[in-house]
Amino acid sequence: MASMKAVRIHHFGDEGALNYEDVSVPEPGRNQILVKVLAAGVNPVDWKMRKGGYPSVDEADLPITLGRDVCGRVAAVGSDVENCSEGERIIAFIGEGRGAYEEYALVEANEFAHMPRFATTNEAAALPLAGITAWQGLFDHGNLQAGQRVLIQGGSGGVGHIAIQLAKAKGAWVATTVSGSDIELAEMLGADQAINYHEESIEEALEPVDMVLDLIGGETQEQSFAVVKSGGILVSTVQEPSEALANLNGVRVAWFKAEPNGRQLADIVKLVEDEKVKIVLNRIFPLSEAAEAQRVLEHEHSRGKIVLELL
Ligand SMILES: NC(=O)c1ccc[n+]([C@@H]2O[C@H](COP(=O)([O-])OP(=O)(O)OC[C@H]3O[C@@H](n4cnc5c(N)ncnc54)[C@H](OP(=O)(O)O)[C@@H]3O)[C@@H](O)[C@H]2O)c1
């Protein structure tokens, strides 16, 4: 059986728990495609999983290959998969139980979309998980409509920078919180108001909004209640918002886990091709340096996405 390189964990821990090792190339099932990975996006879920802080992966599931975002060339196609041929380039947010930090990855038929024309493979690999999370948060859970006002807490990160642009493409008015050095970036992405969260309070800086997309949690989430209109909604990717604060402020709340969705991904790809969504890359690392990539994502200032490149 052919072998390949993969980045796996055999136990939970710090970056040292990541092993760059040889494993067998998997066989695609009837409803799967095998993808020669060209680039893999790095997301906070990857280091949370590595540390044992992701509820649906526990010690008994190990070893696992990390990574949920892939851009690659189709190497083999399962018999039940339609709209996909060997040699095509695709992107996917990969479901739980499979990985992307590896030379060949398995993708389900309902997870992929064709790679956006005009994007590089590194940009394309940065899009799926962040794009789908932003889409599901804004539209499926927040039901954001054209003309509404939305605040995106954490607008310079992987999810936030895409969320700003999806909300603008929908016709919403968009405010976002970022570090001072990212104000220009947020405005370039289309934000109508960019607030430096280190220096300004949203309560003082911002008129009430219909929706908050919370990508930060903690105190930032709590403070968000003060700026949501009565009857508005606070949607979080990070933690369940307080029911008590929701009732007190007359605000609806939602907390969700993003799910792979190839159709939504194809809609996001179209927005990239129409130049409504730009993908901002922070740093690129080789697959063998996945540990350093995760360290940077977890501990350093984040601006856009980090990607592992497989040459
Ligand atoms: N539920 C789900 O399915 C789901 C899906 C995707 C992501 N998530 C979670 O959502 C969160 C964001 O993900 P991501 O990929 O965007 O992470 P990321 O790329 O690491 O970005 C986080 C951003 O937050 C900013 N930030 C930190 N503290 C802030 C504050 N108090 N106010 C405003 N911005 C602040 C950082 O900017 P500075 O460096 O300038 O501080 C950084 O740009 C993570 O916790 C992730 O695990 C959940």
Task: Find the 43 Cα to ligand 1 centroid distance in Å.
Answer: 10
Predicted local distance difference test score (pLDDT) of residue 185: 98
Pocket of ligand 1 contains residue 131 by CB under 6 Å: no
Specify the pLDDT at position 146: 98
By alpha-carbon position, which residue is closest to atom 24 of ligand 1?
A: 154
Question: Distances in Å between the alpha carbon of 72 and those of 29, 152, 165?
Answer: 18, 30, 25
In the prediction, which pLDDT does 302 show?
82
What's the confidence (pLDDT) of residue 133?
Answer: 98
Ligand 1: does its nearest atom lie under 6 Å from the Cβ of 154?
yes
pLDDT the model gives residue 116: 98
Residues of the chain falling short of pLDDT 70: none
Q: Which atom of ligand 1 is nearest to the CA of 161?
A: 16
Q: Is 47 in the pocket of ligand 1 (CB under 6 A)?
A: no
Residue with CA nearest ligand 1 atom 22: 157
Beta strands 69-77 and 32-42 are: antiparallel
Cβ 175 under 6 angstroms from ligand 1: no
* Contact between 111 and 93 (Cβ < 8 Å): yes
C-alpha 39/C-alpha 241 separation (Å) is 34
Q: Which domains are seen in the chain, by residue range?
A: 3-127+279-309 (3.90.180.10), 130-255 (3.40.50.720)
